[in-house]
Amino acid sequence: MATTTLKLDNKELTLPVITGSEGEKAIDIRNLRQESGYITYDDGYGNTGACLSNVTFIDGEAGILRYRGYPIEQLAEQSSFIEVAYLIIYGELPTNVQRSRFSALLTEHAPLREGVIRFIQGFPRDSHPMALLSSSFNALGAYYPHLVSNTLNIDGAHFDEGAAIAISKVRTIAAHSYRVSRGGRLNYPNPDLGYCENFLHLMFSEPYRDYVAKPEVAAALNLFLLLHADHEQNCSTSTVRMVASAGANLFASVSSGVNALWGPLHGGANMAVIDMLKHIHADGDDGTRFIQAAKTGKGDRLMGFGHRVYKHYDPRAAIIKKSFYKALASLGIKDDPLLNIAMKLEEVALSDDYFVSRKLYPNVDFYSGLIMRAIGIPENMFTVMFAIGRMPGWVAHWHEVASTPKLKIHRPRQIYMGPAKRDFVPVNKRR
Ligand code: CMC
């Protein structure tokens, strides 16, 4: 076993070194506190490996993203969201038989129980769809007692059922929440449609007027979902893993992930990008003034730029950008003022020392909001779309934690910086 030494208070400690399958190195500090009294401090976990995982590999410096070893570029070009979902959850690409069985399970679990529909319909019309999604997802647990009573449904038919419910129902809940917000009639899943086409039907079909998705629109949605399917230890996935480490069931763990994703620094960024572009447009700016303000640290951040891990062009952004123009052309969108501003922002930022020196490049959200907007997804649904895409990753990470032999609850330490011990003062003696 490889080791390294660390000198602390004139004492030399030998610590094991772990090497990942892509050569990543980590110092195993699990016994550091017992041996030296020290813990490590890493605000925001930027330099902490919180787990060993087999799902996704990212090299942020080189702009590499792979799901279960397969490069994202190859999957985006040759696979589909559903096939990738299977890969992420089960670890291997499905055979024909496995793929058909998975699709059949997704179809079987697409409709919601009447009680869940009534629950969704009980929300105020102006509810944020992310509030609705996380609550409804948690509520699903009430309808599948056999999947929550034994919290570790990690193998066999129970896991397959839970995974299919998660992947399929997230789409139905999302579309129903949109229909409720518009006061419109709910559409029911059509078993003859593919995953993306079915989602668009659930969202946009009207009485006597079925929405038939253009192939380019379904393909753009498929790509969007595929590119979001997993992203290793991001905020929402780490949340899912944290909750799972307490032994919590799949629905409870995933609904916590939905809430984490809601934040504008995470999944809310795609919506924030569109808001930003609209503001810039309304101010009569072409993006130049906004960039100047973002650089002072006093103005708003340039949303859709920067990433904790990527210090290079986000590979998902590169893929989505390439397909972006194709999708826009097929939708007949030639000259969109927000798109023009986005292009200007990118051009200016990529040649500005502030952004270059901090390695701030466009991330996937810089383009994904524009694509969602082009295919008619309302803005307050953007983060919900991200959640639909991320579901396979959350399921896979839940499974990885839940199936760990001798499951260990996640419990970080802290460095207490509050007042030192002091004695209680009765209220009449306080000044
Ligand atoms: N615009 C302007 N300045 C920025 C930006 C930005 N978007 N992002 C980072 N900076 C600056 C920041 O002010 C700091 O400058 P200084 O060193 O002078 O203090 C430096 O760059 C490092 O920033 P940080 O906040 O320490 O970086 P981080 O790794 O903690 O944050 C981030 C990563 C994604 C939260 C951040 O870049 C950000 O807020 N970006 C905009 C929001 C966004 O697009 N989020 C989507 C992320 S991709 C989707 C996902 O995977 O969740």
Pocket probe for ligand 1: among 72, 298, 358, the residue whose CB has the most ligand atoms within 8 Å is 358
* CA distances in angstroms from 228 to 115, 120, 293, listed in the order given: 30, 25, 30
The CA-based dihedral angle spanning residues 135, 140, 145, 146, taken in that order and rounded to the nearest 10 degrees: -130
Arithmetic mean of pLDDT, 104-128: 94
195 has pLDDT over 90: yes
Ligand 1 nearest atom to the CA of residue 304, by list position: 44
User: How many other β-carbons are positioned within 10 Å of the β-carbon of residue 212?
Assistant: 13
Range 195-214 average pLDDT: 94
Residue-wise pLDDT for 290-325, tens only, equals: 999 998 877 789 999 999 889 888 999 989 988 877
Q: What is the mean pLDDT of residues 215-240?
A: 95
Q: Are 187 and 412 within 8 A, CB to CB?
A: no
Q: Can you tell me which residue has the tokens 């649904």?
A: 381
Confidence of residue 201 (pLDDT cuts 50, 70, 90): very high
For 63-123, the DSSP string reads TEEEETTEEHHHHHHH--HHHHHHHHHHSS---HHHHHHHHHHHHHT-SPPHHHHHHHHTS
> Quick one: pLDDT at residue 374?
85
Q: What is the pLDDT of residue 371?
A: 87
Which residue's alpha carbon is at the smallest distance from atom 28 of ligand 1?
A: 308
List of domains in the chain = 3-64 (2.20.28.60), 72-266+381-402 (1.10.580.10), 269-375 (1.10.230.10)
pLDDT digits (tens, 9 = 90+) for 362-393: 999 898 888 898 888 999 899 999 999 999 99
Q: In the numeric block, which tokens belong to residue 241?
A: 């893993």
Give pLDDT, residue 330: 78
How does the average pLDDT of the chain come out, rounded? 93
Residue nearest atom 8 in ligand 1 by C-alpha distance: 306
Q: Whose CA is nearest to atom 35 of ligand 1?
A: 265
Residues carrying an active site annotation:
307, 365
Out of 308, 364, 385, mutate this one to test ligand 1's pocket (max ligand atoms within 8 Å of CB): namely: 308
Nearest protein Cα to ligand 1, atom 3: 301
Cα(73)–Cα(379) distance, rounded to whole angstroms?
Answer: 27
Q: Is the pLDDT of residue 247 over 80?
A: yes
Half-sphere exposure of residue 267, counting CA atoms within 13 Å on the CB side? Answer: 29
Write the single-letter amino acid at 148: V
Note the pLDDT tens digit of each residue in 14-43: 999 999 999 999 999 999 999 999 999 999
Structure tokens at 29: 């500090």
Does the pLDDT at position 335 exceed 80?
no
> In sequence order, what are the beta bridge partners of 15?
4
- Using CA atoms, how far apart are residues 118 and 181, in angstroms rounded to an integer? 14
**Residue from 276, 307, 311 whose mutation best tests the ligand 1 pocket (most atoms within 8 A of CB):** 307
Reported confidence tier of residue 152, pLDDT bands at 50, 70, 90: low
What confidence score (pLDDT) does residue 332 get? 78
Q: 387, 177 in Cβ contact below 8 A?
A: no
In this predicted structure, the answer to whether residue 165 has a pLDDT above a threshold of 90 is yes
**Nearest protein CA to atom 14 of ligand 1, as residue:** 358
Confidence of residue 151 (pLDDT cuts 50, 70, 90): low
Q: Residue 253's pLDDT is what?
A: 96
- 341, 277 in Cβ contact below 8 A? yes
pLDDT at 80 > cutoff 80:
yes
CB of residue 297 inside a 6 A radius of ligand 1: yes
Of 319, 315, 287, residue with least CA distance to 300 = 287
pLDDT at 82: 98
Decide: 307 in ligand 1 pocket, CB within 6 A.
Answer: yes
d(CA 147, CA 269): 33
381 close to 129: Cβ distance less than 8 angstroms: yes
| Side chain identity, residue 70 | Y
**What is the rounded CA–CA span in Å between residue 364 and residue 369?**
9
Q: For residues 328-339, give the mean pLDDT.
A: 81
Spatial contact of 16 and 193, defined as CB atoms under 8 Å apart: no
Please tell me if the CB atom of residue 231 comes closer than 6 angstroms to any atom of ligand 1: yes
- Indicate whether 150 pLDDT > 70: no
CA of 265 to the centre of ligand 1 (A): 8
The residue whose CA has the least distance to atom 44 of ligand 1 is 304
Give distance in angstroms: CA of 234 to centre of ligand 1: 14
Please provide residue 258's backbone torsions phi and psi, each rounded to the nearest 5 degrees.
-60, -45
Task: State whether residue 298 is helix, strand or coil.
Answer: coil
120, 136 in Cβ contact below 8 A?
A: yes
Segment 403-421, tens digit of pLDDT: 999 889 999 999 999 999 9
Q: Quote the DSSP letter at residue 8.
A: E
Q: What percent of the chain stands above pLDDT 90? A: 76
Q: What is the pLDDT of residue 130?
A: 93
Q: Is the shortest distance between the CB of 269 and ligand 1 below 6 Å?
A: yes
Give 149: exposed, middle or buried? Use CB within 10 Å, 0-12, 13-18, 19+.
exposed
Ligand 1 atom nearest to CA at 46:
29
Q: Find the mean pLDDT for residues 101-108.
A: 97
Question: Using CB atoms within 10 A of its CB, is residue 278 exposed (0-12), middle (13-18) or buried (19+)?
Answer: middle
Which residues, 6 or more positions from 238, have their beta carbon under 8 angstroms from its beta carbon?
45, 50, 260
Range 398-404 average pLDDT: 94
